[in-house]
Structure 1
Amino acid sequence: MNTYKKLFAYVPEIKNKAIFAVIFTAISNLTLFFAYYKIWTIIKVIFTKNSSDGLIKYSNLIVILFIAYGLIYFLGLWQSHLLAFRLETRLREKGAKKLLRASESFFDTHSSGEVRKIIDNNVEGTHMAVAHLIPDQTAAIITPILMLILVFKIDLFLGLFFVGVVLASFFIMKAMMGDKTFMEIYMKKLDKLNAGAVEYVRFIPVVKIFNAPLKGIKSLYESIIDYRDIVYEYSMSCRIPFVTFQWLLNIFIVSPIFLAIFMVKNGSDPYLWSAKILFFTLFTGMFFANMMKIMYVSTYHFQANSAVDNLERLFEEMQSKKVIFGEAKKIDKADIVFEKVDFSYDDEKNILEDFSVKFQEGKSYALVGSSGSGKSTIARLISGSYPLDKGKILLDGRDIKSYDKDFLMDNIGMVFQNPKLFKGISIYDNVALAKENSEKKEVIEALKKARCFEFIDKFEKGVDTVIGDAGVNLSGGEIQRISIARIFLKNPRILILDEASAAADPENEHELQIAFKELMKNRTTIMIAHRLSSIRGVDEIFLIDDGKIKEKGNHKDLMAKDGSYKYFVDLYDKANEWRI
């Protein structure tokens, strides 16, 4: 019940459909058993009265009852499916809304493919729990009770025997289902296997190039072995109870014959007992099918509970490390100060430790250093989207978290190495989304400043050209220039360029550098670059090493020091001289 309490909390306005599903299923089962009772009546008449009187009437009634059973059961399924589909929609909506509001830390620890797999797989798991398990659980509970009533109605001694059959079956079924912890282990192994399979698919090009065997993808191979072992172990643990259940079922079918012989010897009607044994034999098969349904209901119920827990855990992780912003909406001077900042993504290894630096308004800065040194982390922290482990980041002398989030985002512009454009909308609309209610002349001016008309003019529809249409192919540098046009339109006080020209070809890089020069005017600019030739004109360069500032100064001063910065520049120059 706790599982359904969690699920129905997402669809409170239509949770009564679950009640209707239960009611319709219960009525359909009552109808079905009334039909079985009439079948018993026909069998008894044939065996004891040796007459066909009333058989046509009973047969027609049975047909009507079975049709009614199907229609009423369909109504129950219809109600549960309507509830299930609404629940799926609501869970996906919640997942999308939670993603929009998720902390930046969440996206650093969860890939988009992983998040999609968790949401899709587990949302689908809830469908079975609601659409099918509600009717099936209702039937699984009602059916044994109605069976007992019907068998006792036929004969007291058969009823007592059937009670023994039910108790023995439930005992064996419990053993057949195995250890309760298995499903939890099974789900974890299955998730690990799925993740390994995704990783393997991503590495298929490498596998083909180097003809690597499956064992070369260690995680997938180990996942397959672990999954095989747990399934085999569970199957072997269930084999004795399952075979016992099959064996006892056959005994249960045969045993009433001996009871009938005993009763006939003691004066009972042999024809009546022949009818009872025939009906009981048919009835036992129905009981066996219901017991298997009960077992599967238990399995699917666990999977549904696991699916709900996985989704809620994911939703909680989306909100973890989320920064609570303030309401301030005024910046007089766009100075940025880091005061003894400690920061880690995983609460274990510090990326920055006791880090302090100041970026003054209107000046340009460059962060250089080896990969993993903390350059991009510094840039990300300026957005205020990550909670610090220690220290403060001040903007205009005020804690960056004290600002209104939307106001802060309006005043910080970021250009990344691989910007994204929205397909299905025009170049104009891709730029216009950077500023709400922007005028057309503002968008056109931003495109001009970003030097986008160098390539837009080649399209027949110009700025109204739809991204993704046939024949519309944009290079990495052209996409980058459109993203720069967004920043021109946004007009922020602070500019962060994270490897913004890394993917550009020589022709596009020239255009980008002209655009960047215009974009950086009168803004606090922080650049992260591996192309050291692009940062020589900035006001100050910081060489970051292991989360600390190792060297700082302008290009000329740092080259004169003959330190690590000069070493990097010399390596860069040598790399540029290399030719095939």
Structure 2
Amino acid sequence: MSTDQSAKQPADEPAAAPAATASRPGGPGGRPGHGPMGNMGMPAEKAMNFTGSLRRFAGYLGAEKVRVVVVTVLAVVSVGLTVMGPKLLGNATNLIFEGFVSKQLPAGSTKAEAVAGLRADGQDQLADMMSGMTLTPGVGLDTTALRDVLLLVVAVYVGAFLFGWLQGRFTAIVVQNTVRRLRDQVEEKVNRLPLGYFDKQKSGEVLSRVTNDIDNVAQTLQQTLSQLVSSILTIVGVLAMMFWISPLLAIVALVTVPLSVIITAAIAKRSQPQFVRQWASTGRLNAHIEEMYTGHALVKVFGHQERAIETFDEENAHLYEASFKAQFISGIIQPAMGFVANLNYVIVAVVGGLRVASGTMTLGDVQAFIQYSRQFTQPITQVASMMNLLQSGVASAERVFELLDADEQSPDPASPVRVGRVQGRVAFEDVAFSYSPDAPLITGLSLVAEPGKTIAIVGPTGAGKTTLVNLIMRFYEVGSGRITLDGVDVATMTRDDLRSNIGMVLQDTWLFEGTIADNIRYGAGPDVDDARLVEAAEATHVDPFVRTLPDGYDTVLDEGGASVSAGEKQLLTIARAFLADPAILILDEATSSVDTRTEVLVQKAMNALRAGRTSFVIAHRLSTIRDADVILVMEHGDIVEQGTHDELLAAHGAYARLYESQFASALD
């Protein structure tokens, strides 16, 4: 198919209604409203289904089960080695302290004698402490044993680093594969959405969902997947080591855990709605920026800069308020958890010191336990602080899910009719259509366009001209009746098969960033040779102005084709349709941006192009459709007249009034 832009109904027909026959008039109607922000499917400030969305969010990891298992195994080994470190360092501390104490004792004596001597001197507390040590009186530090312990500590930490590095690498693979599949789903979904969905959305809002929100989901997965697994394993491993060293101190350390959970839950409950508001505000702000950027010329022409700035400031203020509240409230989690961790540290240090003094624990074990208590509270703090990121990520994920869950266009038939190259006979058979069930726009339409004939559609703005061709293209589905192509119901064909036979040029031109040659080839494919391309360009009078450019057909156009004039852009889109060589042409005000002299030349080229093809021409300039085989006159969604130019003038009806008003205005 050759189209000059995405098939969105032009702005000049906000209330366009499908056509109806004169014998069965349809009521006036219009398109779905483009109302305020509440109409755009945004989550606004409603509370989201956090648990359900999180479960669905996590479900995307299902395809990476093997790698997730690898990540978990690597995390277990890495965390296990890390957890061993403090205990080994505690042993090194014991070697140093016991060596120092042993050096102070008389050589040749025994530990029992030293302890008995201290008790005889009334130093029972010191004696209790020494009774829990391994002492060799008169012998100092065992440097060989200390070296072996320190080398083992180095090996353990190096191993923990290597396994942690591998875990990070596999985590990155898991996350990027998962997000790639999510992006693929979104892209496929966008192509399955009906035109009506985009009519109700601002493009900036849709772009925000498929870019900003997905990027935020990726960041959330990357940070939470690795840290969350490691943090949970660290909590389990450290807790096991703490109970091994001292069950009493472990129980003391666990006293603060319920307090941490209560604090985290209370803060998260308040911050979650703010994250929903934050990403909704981001979408609205992006929509406004996109509109102001694409229409910046009109904003300046009509002097709306101040109003645009005011709207931006208002939306920016909403985003600031929501973001500030979300970040501030969730940011309280980490300092609150830090306070609980410090409280835990003080309790462990006091109780541990008393245990060393009583001889029931060694100094190295207390040192190791204090390190473990830090390691225990640190992952809890990390998990709590990750709630900030997780809430933001789930809020973005839900916005993406809303897009993925949107109603799709009706699927193509399971056993479609293949038509190949068609002759171009288009027939409307008692067609009914409405944009909404409670506002019917047509109650019946019967019309036949024979192959090779030109059907012109005229009428005032909003009469429903563009809607008629949108039904042919199946951008909208008919409510009842049917449209046939060479006798085949278009509903029994695939959309690709149908549209491959149709070339469409809309009044709103669309060019992408690329060379002029690439833009012209867009409808026919990249394999079209240069000779055919130049032939199409010459036929549509594109070749003369392209030859004046420094790089000719290799000239790179920026996005939207801002480097060429409006008339030249229109000519390029017409050349695109020429090169596609379709059986059916749809021209919607295709010459609206072309000057009068060029219009005459383009009309000659169009006459040659229309030979042997069925053509539907929507025009406001009645001078461009005088030679049409049939002219349909539409008003308020109804076909009120049809015939040739001369017949309609002789009837002195609606067409004659349009014609006279147009040319009388020129004469006046």
- Please state which band the TM-score falls in when normalised by the shorter chain: 0.7 to 0.9
Q: Structure 2: how far apart are the matches of 1:495 and 1:469?
A: 26
Residue from 422, 425, 432 that aligns with 1:334: 425
Q: Structure 1: how far apart are the matches of 2:514 and 2:315?
A: 42
Q: Is the 8 A contact 2:506 2:589 kept in 1?
A: yes
Q: Structure 2: how far apart are the matches of 1:109 and 1:24?
A: 48
Task: Determine if the alignment matches structure 1 residue 291 to structure 2 residue 380.
Answer: yes
Say if 1:348 and 1:521 are closer, same or farther in 2 by CA, change over 3 A.
Answer: same
Task: Determine if the alignment matches structure 1 residue 468 to structure 2 residue 560.
Answer: no
Q: Is the 8 A contact 1:452 1:482 kept in 2?
A: yes
Q: Structure 2: how far apart are the matches of 1:221 and 1:351?
A: 38
- The 3-state SS of whatever aligns with 1:124 is helix
Task: Determine if the alignment matches structure 1 residue 225 to structure 2 residue 313.
Answer: no
Amino acid at match of 2:456: A
Deviation at 1:28, TM superposition (A): 0.7
Report the structure, 1 or 2, having the larger helix content. 1
Question: Paired residue for 1:8?
Answer: 61
Structure 1 regions of 5+ residues with no counterpart?
A: none
Q: Structure 1: how far apart are the matches of 2:603 and 2:510?
A: 20
Higher RCO structure, 1 or 2 (CA under 8 Å, sep 6+) = 2
- The 3-state SS of whatever aligns with 1:544 is strand
Say if 1:315 and 1:368 are closer, same or farther in 2 by CA, change over 3 A.
Answer: same
Say if 1:202 and 1:107 are closer, same or farther in 2 by CA, change over 3 A.
Answer: closer
What aligned pairs does 1:450-461 form with structure 2 within 5 A after superposition?
A: 450-458=540-548
Amino acid at match of 2:224: L
Question: Paired residue for 2:70?
Answer: 20
Q: Is the 8 A contact 1:364 1:520 kept in 2?
A: yes
Q: Structure 2: how far apart are the matches of 1:515 and 1:228?
A: 58
Question: Paired residue for 1:259?
Answer: 351
Residue from 352, 370, 374 that aligns with 2:441: 352
- The 3-state SS of whatever aligns with 1:542 is strand
Number of matched pairs:
564
Amino acid at match of 2:152: L
Deviation at 1:514, TM superposition (A): 1.3
Q: Structure 1: how far apart are the matches of 2:524 and 2:578?
A: 9
Deviation at 1:59, TM superposition (A): 2.8
What aligned pairs does 1:187-202 form with structure 2 within 5 A after superposition?
A: 187-200=276-289, 202=291
Question: Paired residue for 2:493?
Answer: 403
Task: Determine if the alignment matches structure 1 residue 32 to structure 2 residue 105.
Answer: no
Task: Determine if the alignment matches structure 1 residue 535 to structure 2 residue 652.
Answer: no
What aligned pairs does 1:481-496 form with structure 2 within 5 A after superposition?
A: 481-496=571-586
What is the RMSD of the two structures over their aligned residues, measured on CA atoms?
3.9
Deviation at 1:37, TM superposition (A): 1.0
Question: Paired residue for 1:124?
Answer: 215
Q: Structure 2: how far apart are the matches of 1:111 and 1:75?
A: 43
| TM-score (normalised: structure 1) | 0.82
Deviation at 1:154, TM superposition (A): 2.3
- The 3-state SS of whatever aligns with 1:372 is coil
Structure 2 regions of 5+ residues with no counterpart?
A: 1-53, 101-139
Deviation at 1:482, TM superposition (A): 4.2
What aligned pairs does 1:117-516 form with structure 2 within 5 A after superposition?
A: 117-179=208-270, 182-183=271-272, 186-200=275-289, 202-203=291-292, 205=296, 206=299, 209-210=303-304, 212=306, 216-217=310-311, 221=314, 224-225=317-318, 228=321, 232=325, 235=328, 245-260=337-352, 263=355, 268-269=358-359, 272=361, 278-317=367-406, 319-324=408-413, 326-329=416-419, 331=422, 334-344=425-435, 347=436, 350=439, 352-361=441-450, 362-421=452-511, 423-425=513-515, 427=517, 430-431=520-521, 434=524, 443=533, 445-458=535-548, 465-468=553-556, 474-516=564-606
Q: Is the 8 A contact 2:274 2:326 kept in 1?
A: no
Deviation at 1:22, TM superposition (A): 1.2
Report the structure number with the largest CA radius of gyration.
2
Deviation at 1:81, TM superposition (A): 0.7
Q: Structure 2: how far apart are the matches of 1:100 and 1:43?
A: 66
Task: Determine if the alignment matches structure 1 residue 60 to structure 2 residue 110.
Answer: no
Amino acid at match of 1:537: D
- The 3-state SS of whatever aligns with 1:178 is helix
Q: Structure 1: how far apart are the matches of 2:365 and 2:419?
A: 85
Task: Determine if the alignment matches structure 1 residue 524 to structure 2 residue 524.
Answer: no
Q: Structure 2: how far apart are the matches of 1:195 and 1:84?
A: 28
Q: Structure 2: how far apart are the matches of 1:440 and 1:237?
A: 60
Q: Structure 1: how far apart are the matches of 2:239 and 2:621?
A: 82
Amino acid at match of 2:306: A
Amino acid at match of 1:329: V
Say if 1:413 and 1:320 are closer, same or farther in 2 by CA, change over 3 A.
Answer: closer
Deviation at 1:453, TM superposition (A): 4.0
Q: Is the 8 A contact 2:292 2:308 kept in 1?
A: no
Amino acid at match of 1:542: L
Identical columns (%): 22
Amino acid at match of 2:67: K
Amino acid at match of 2:406: E
Provide, for residues 80-126 of structure 1, a one-character-per-residue CA deviation record: whole Å limited to 9, x for no partner: 11222233334334444444555444444455544433222343234
Q: Is the 8 A contact 1:323 1:384 kept in 2?
A: no
- The 3-state SS of whatever aligns with 1:413 is strand
Q: Structure 1: how far apart are the matches of 2:522 and 2:214?
A: 35
Deviation at 1:66, TM superposition (A): 1.9
